[in-house]
């Protein structure tokens, strides 16, 4: 996915000035994630203290602007290994890049997929995944596209708040078709972004 046409929007709307988390490319060299993921994290970075779409990427209490490397789930959460027979590989191969509004970790796996892992509060090894995007780049583009759509619809309906937005059915259909071309599986039922599409569906003019 070519990020060049989106990088200005990313820097102007989500990673403004020093509000960006960058990772050290050399430190990530031996980490088992795609090369394009490492490049994105080192070059474009993630929003700092942003909380957009209930996602927060301040996953480590560092004051520095450049993080050394991505921590593994097993570095962040001390789960009971005897209870991890169904997720042992994921536990040792998924890297933590932040947390969702619920506090659950946002992770990247070997394929570069971005997902939320909902861990049982007792850390007993019970868990379930919520898919966000197929890559970090596609996630960033979804951030931009969803923000643009929200702002446009808010202005179009002269709404003073998000809850007052009115959306035309044809606008929503066009928007969903567009983002499916960016990451087709990210809009599937049960995915992270599908819940936002459902919110927009509730705003459609009856």
Count of beta carbons in the 10 Å neighbourhood of residue 155: 10
**Token code pair at residue 187:** 């809009």
The span from the CA of 108 to the CA of 101, in Å, is 17
Average pLDDT over residues 109-130: 78
- Three-class DSSP category at 160: coil
> What pLDDT, on a 0 to 100 scale, did the predictor assign at position 63?
45
pLDDT digits (tens, 9 = 90+) for 5-19: 999 999 888 887 678
The span from the CA of 54 to the CA of 73, in Å, is 20
pLDDT band (50, 70, 90) for residue 146:
very high
Average pLDDT over residues 169-174: 92
CA-angle at 29, arms to 14 and 45, nearest 5°: 5
> What pLDDT, on a 0 to 100 scale, did the predictor assign at position 176?
95
Bridge partner list, 107: 96, 115
- Three-class DSSP category at 115: strand
Counting beta carbons within 10 angstroms of the beta carbon of residue 79, is it exposed (0 to 12), middle (13 to 18) or buried (19 or more)? buried
More confident residue, 92 or 40: 40
DSSP 198: H
- Three-class DSSP category at 200: helix
């Amino acid at each position: 996915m070519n990020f060049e046409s989106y990088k200005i929007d990313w820097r102007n709307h989500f990673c403004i000035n020093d509000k960006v988390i960058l990772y050290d490319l050399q430190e990530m060299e031996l980490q088992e994630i795609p090369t394009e993921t490492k490049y994105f994290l080192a070059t474009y970075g993630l929003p700092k203290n942003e909380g957009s779409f209930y996602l927060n990427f301040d996953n480590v209490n560092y004051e520095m602007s450049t993080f050394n490397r991505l921590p593994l789930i097993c570095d962040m959460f001390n789960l009971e290994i005897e209870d991890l027979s169904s997720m042992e590989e994921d536990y040792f191969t998924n890297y933590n890049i932040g947390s969702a509004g619920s506090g659950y970790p946002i992770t990247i796996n070997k394929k570069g997929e971005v997902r939320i892992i909902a861990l049982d509060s007792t850390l007993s090894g019970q868990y379930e995944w919520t898919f966000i995007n197929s890559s970090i780049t596609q996630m960033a583009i979804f951030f931009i596209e969803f923000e643009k759509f929200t702002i446009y619809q808010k202005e179009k309906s002269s709404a003073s708040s998000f809850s007052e937005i009115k959306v035309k059915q044809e606008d929503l259909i066009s928007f969903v078709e567009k983002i499916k071309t960016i990451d087709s599986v990210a809009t599937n039922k049960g995915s992270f972004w599908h819940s936002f599409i459902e919110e927009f569906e509730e705003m459609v003019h009856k």
